[in-house]
């Protein structure tokens, strides 16, 4: 139907839409009758698209009706350009995306669903951190390490298993094969599927509307920065000269080191430290703060410390690092602890203190984009930067560094940038999982955060040994903690250390997101002999001694 040279922009009222799925249904139905550049907003109850000037409105109405919604009147939309979406006569694209990770791909997919012309710019490997050097490779190796550890340390009598050693090369090859497969299927092949352009090279801002990519200029009416983050490195005398592993290079080792020092004690440090401990390394974790997992509930940190210590990991906390030296055949790390000088030596040194946003090469000052003290891009509740035409999403904003948060933000940023939807970011119920063994999972507020937010707080702390699943597993390391508002009974936060804590936390996420109460958890069935039952038991602990209840008693 559509001839772009004769097209005009039209708006149709559409009633009955309630969600993003509804939007996609209307987009497809209208595209099926030949209109182009379709964007639909269920909140506004409208569809905007390009169609020939002589299009029959009845054809458009029937298309919307076939999708299951009620068509309304059609009107012409005034545009400043040639009628394309959005009006951007001076731009090559409607949306330029810098980066190619979770936020970038989610944004590109949503932008194409809205009919926008999109370009993605990537300087390195397609797919970003998660699939290449983060979630996927680390978790497959962590599972392998846990299986190997269990072969030599399971708790069951009469079951005889043997640890016959680790050949790391084939394991890393298998990890690489998985990464390549997922990168191809979940990233590379989607570009042609959705139809956006990919430009390879380093992007730098020339001004607020133009990017320079290896000598070529790309212009767009809206720009999204989704460049992610990279391993942060502390300022320690001698560290740069000595060299070190990061979370990226540690996953590429071809041999298990005899010993390993880890600088840092957050989730990356503990995951990778335990991985190499399970594979046979002697591991020492060293940290400036007085305890590991300093941002977590103290009960969580204590339970994890106890479990990892029993597995043979050593910890040095409250350390001031004075020098790192490379001494054959490994590293010498000197620290001061409680006024005394100590030194730890190991074959390998891993730095895992967190991640810093990738913004240094972007020349953001030219675009009027403000950054924070760590180089993170400052955004408002709509993910708009200090330049109203530029948005940012994902790890580059220094928010929660999870791929599912990045994808959520990418989608939201694309909608706000292209349609003016003004959707606000809501991170009040973001689950976080640390894939140690036992694993750690949290959602919502800690007790300290809840008090700081003005809540009258009550909490329950349930040791995992009170959960029947842990008893049948013969593994009672861990804890459940629920933080609730004492006046309303509303669940404010849940914090778990247990086997499969990451699976348990989804139910807790729903409780936090939808304002469920302690009573709601108590009065809901929990399947017996699952770790999820610990949520109900922890809720019951507010009013009962669960040690004095029979199995499944309410």
Span 383-401, pLDDT tens digits: 999 999 999 999 999 889 9
Give the confidence band of 43 by pLDDT, cuts at 50, 70, 90: low
221 and 102 within one domain:
yes
Higher pLDDT, 77 or 364: 364
Of 275, 271, 255, the closest CA to residue 172 belongs to 255
What pLDDT does residue 221 have?
A: 93
CA distance 26 to 112: 14
Q: Are residues 226 and 108 in the same domain?
A: yes
- Look up residue 387 and give its two tokens: 């330049």
Identify the active-site residue in 1, 12, 19, 296: 19
Residue 245 DSSP one-character state: B
Q: How far apart are alpha carbons 530 and 525 in whole angstroms?
A: 12
Neighbours of 66 (CB within 10 A): 14
pLDDT at res. 483: 98
Residue at 244 is within a domain = yes
Give CA–CA dist 419/48, Å, rounded: 10
Identify the band that residue 38 occupies on the pLDDT scale cut at 50, 70 and 90: confident
Which one of the listed residues 1, 93, 120, 135 is annotated catalytic? 135
**What radius of gyration, in Å, describes the C-alpha atoms of the chain?**
27
Residues 362 and 346 in one domain: no
The CATH number of residue 323's host domain is 3.50.50.60
φ, ψ of residue 37 in degrees (nearest 5): 50, 50
Beta strands (DSSP E) in 278-399 are 282-286, 314-316, 319-327, 330-337, 340-346, 348-351, 355-357, 390-392
Q: Quote the DSSP letter at residue 424.
A: P
State the helix-helix crossing angle for 403-419 and 102-113, rounded to 10 degrees.
Answer: 40
Q: Looking at the domain assignment, is residue 134 inside a domain? A: no
Q: CB–CB of 280/166 below 8 Å?
A: yes
Confidence bin at 86 (pLDDT 50/70/90)? very low
Half-sphere exposure of 166 (CA within 13 A, CB side): 26
- Predicted pLDDT of residue 84: 38
> 135-149, 424-438, 460-474, 540-554: which has the minimum mean pLDDT?
540-554
| 45 touches 13 (CB < 8 A) | yes
Classify residue 25: in a domain, yes or no.
yes
What pLDDT sits at residue 49?
Answer: 87
Structural domain includes residue 163 = no
* pLDDT exceeds cutoff 80 at 215: yes
Cα dihedral: 299, 305, 310, 314 (round 10): -160
Q: Of 130, 286, 313, 531, which is the active-site residue?
A: 130
Task: Provide mean pLDDT across the span 510-521.
Answer: 97
Classify residue 118 by its DSSP letter.
E
My answer on whether 101 and 227 are in the same domain is yes
Any catalytic annotation for residue 69? yes
pLDDT tops 80 at residue 135: yes
User: Confidence band (pLDDT; 50, 70, 90) for 82?
Assistant: very low
- 461 and 386 in a single domain? The answer is no
Q: Which of 76, 104, 119 is the last residue of a domain?
A: 76
- Position 41 confidence tier, pLDDT thresholds 50, 70, 90: confident
Q: How far apart are CA 348 and CA 403, in angstroms?
A: 29
* pLDDT on residue 89: 43
Q: Is 159 contained in some domain?
A: no
Q: Span 418-442, mean pLDDT?
A: 95
Q: Which residues pair with 252 in a beta bridge?
A: none
Say if 226 falls within a structural domain: yes
Residue 487 half-sphere exposure, CB side, CA atoms within 13 Å? 5
What three-state secondary structure class fits 478?
coil
Structural domains of the chain, count? 4
> Which range has the worst mean pLDDT, 71-80, 292-301, 424-433?
71-80
As a whole number, mean pLDDT of residues 101-122 equals 96
> Looking at residue 477, which CATH number applies to its domain?
3.30.390.30
Q: What are phi and psi of 8, to 5 degrees?
A: -135, 155
Residue 331 annotated to the active site? no
In order of 272, 291, 475, the CA distances from 300 in angstroms are 18, 11, 16
450 with 527, same domain?
yes
Same domain, 374 and 487: no
- Given 294, 329, 352, the domain boundary residue is 352
Q: Which band of pLDDT confidence, cut at 50, 70 and 90, is reported for residue 1?
A: very low
- Among candidate residues 12, 69, 331, 531, the one labeled active-site is 69
Q: Are residues 99 and 224 in the same domain?
A: yes
Non-local CB neighbours of 218 within 8 Å, separated by 6+ positions: 92, 93, 96, 119, 121, 199, 203, 210, 211, 212
The Cα 96–Cα 199 span in angstroms is 10
Please tell me which residue in 22, 389, 404, 506 is annotated as part of the active site. Answer: 22
3 pLDDT above the threshold of 70: no
Among the candidates 302, 319, 352, a domain finishes at 352
The answer to whether residues 295 and 288 touch, using CB atoms and an 8 Å cutoff, is: no
Q: Which of 187, 404, 528, 551 is catalytic?
A: 551
- Specify the residue for token string 């990168």: 183
Contact 443, 513 (CB under 8 A): no
On whether the CB atoms of residues 303 and 279 are closer than 8 A, the answer is no
* Active-site residue identified among 17, 120, 313, 531: 17
Whether 30 maps to a domain, the answer reads: yes
Using an 8 Å Cβ cutoff, are 69 and 27 in contact? no
- % of the chain with per-residue pLDDT over 70: 96
Of 348, 440, 347, 430, the C-alpha closest to 142 is: 440
Residues 365 and 226 in one domain: yes
**Cα 469 to chain center, whole Å?**
29
Which range of residues forms the domain containing residue 456?
Answer: 432-548
389 among known catalytic residues: no
Q: Does some domain include residue 553? A: no
**What would the mean pLDDT of 506-529 be, rounded to a whole number?**
97
Q: What is the CATH number of the domain that holds 72?
A: 3.30.70.100
Are 463 and 530 in the same domain? yes
449 and 542 housed in the same domain: yes
Among the residue ranges 27-41, 101-115, 325-339, the one predicted with the least confidence is: 27-41
Mean predicted lDDT score pLDDT of the chain: 93
User: Which long-range CB contacts under 8 A does 299-302 form with residues at least 24 apart?
Assistant: 299/461, 299/479, 299/481, 299/495, 300/440, 300/442, 300/479, 300/481, 300/495, 300/497, 302/479
Burial class for 159, CB neighbours closer than 10 Å (0-12, 13-18, 19+): exposed
Query: Domain check: are 105 and 221 in the same one?
Result: yes
- Bond from prior residue into 15 cis (ω within 30 degrees of 0): no
Determine the pLDDT at residue 79. Answer: 43
My answer on whether omega of the bond before 438 falls inside 30° of 0, hence cis, is yes
pLDDT of 551 over the 60 cut: yes
């Amino acid at each position: 139907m559509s001839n772009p040279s004769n097209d005009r922009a039209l708006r149709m009222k559409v009633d009955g839409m309630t969600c993003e799925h509804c939007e996609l249904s209307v987009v497809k139905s209208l595209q099926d009758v030949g209109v182009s550049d379709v964007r639909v907003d269920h909140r506004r109850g409208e569809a905007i698209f390009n169609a020939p000037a002589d299009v029959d409105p009845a054809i458009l109405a029937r298309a919307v009706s076939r999708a299951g919604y009620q068509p309304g009147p059609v009107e012409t939309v005034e545009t400043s350009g040639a009628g394309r979406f959005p009006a951007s006569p001076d731009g090559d694209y409607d949306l330029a995306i810098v980066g190619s990770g979770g936020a970038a791909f989610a944004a590109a997919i949503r932008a194409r669903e809205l009919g926008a012309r999109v370009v993605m710019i990537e300087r390195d490997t397609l797919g970003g951190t998660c699939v290449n050097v983060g979630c996927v490779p680390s978790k497959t190796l962590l599972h392998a390490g846990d299986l190997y550890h269990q072969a030599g340390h399971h708790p069951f009598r009469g079951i005889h298993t043997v640890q016959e050693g680790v050949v790391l090369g084939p394991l890393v090859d298998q990890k690489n094969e998985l990464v390549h497969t997922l990168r191809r299927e979940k990233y590379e092949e989607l570009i042609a599927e959705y139809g956006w352009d990919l430009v390879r090279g380093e992007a730098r801002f020339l001004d607020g509307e133009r990017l320079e990519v290896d000598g070529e200029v790309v212009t767009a009416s809206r720009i999204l920065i989704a460049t992610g983050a990279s391993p942060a490195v502390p300022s320690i005398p001698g560290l740069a000269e000595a060299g070190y592993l990061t979370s990226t290079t540690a996953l590429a080792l071809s041999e298990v080191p005899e010993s390993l020092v880890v600088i840092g004690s957050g989730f990356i440090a503990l995951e990778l430290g335990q991985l190499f401990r399970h594979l046979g390394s002697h591991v020492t974790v060293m940290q400036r703060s007085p305890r590991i997992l300093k941002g977590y509930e103290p009960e969580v940190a204590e339970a994890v410390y106890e479990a990892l210590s029993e597995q043979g990991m050593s910890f040095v906390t409250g350390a001031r690092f004075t020098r790192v030296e490379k001494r054959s055949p490994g590293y010498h790390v000197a620290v001061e602890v409680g006024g005394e000088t100590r030194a730890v030596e190991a074959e390998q040194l891993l730095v895992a203190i967190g991640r810093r946003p990738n913004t240094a090469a972007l020349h953001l000052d030219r675009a009027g984009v403000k950054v924070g003290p760590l180089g993170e891009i400052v955004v408002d509740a709509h993910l708009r930067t200090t330049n109203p035409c530029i948005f940012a999403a994902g790890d580059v904003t220094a928010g929660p560094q999870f791929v599912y948060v990045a994808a959520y933000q990418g989608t939201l940023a694309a909608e706000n940038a292209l349609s003016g939807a003004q959707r606000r970011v809501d991170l009040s119920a973001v689950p976080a999982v640390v894939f140690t063994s036992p694993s750690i999972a949290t959602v919502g507020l800690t007790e300290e955060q809840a008090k700081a937010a003005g809540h009258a707080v009550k909490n329950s702390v349930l040791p995992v040994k009170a959960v029947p699943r842990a008893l049948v597993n013969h593994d009672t390391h861990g804890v459940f903690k629920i933080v609730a508002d004492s006046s309303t009974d509303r669940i404010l936060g849940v914090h778990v250390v247990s086997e499969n804590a990451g699976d348990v936390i989804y139910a807790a996420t729903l409780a936090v997101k939808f304002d469920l109460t302690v009573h709601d958890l108590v009065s809901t069935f929990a399947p017996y002999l699952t770790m999820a039952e610990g949520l109900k038991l922890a809720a019951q602990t507010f009013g009962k001694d669960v040690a004095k209840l029979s199995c499944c008693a309410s």
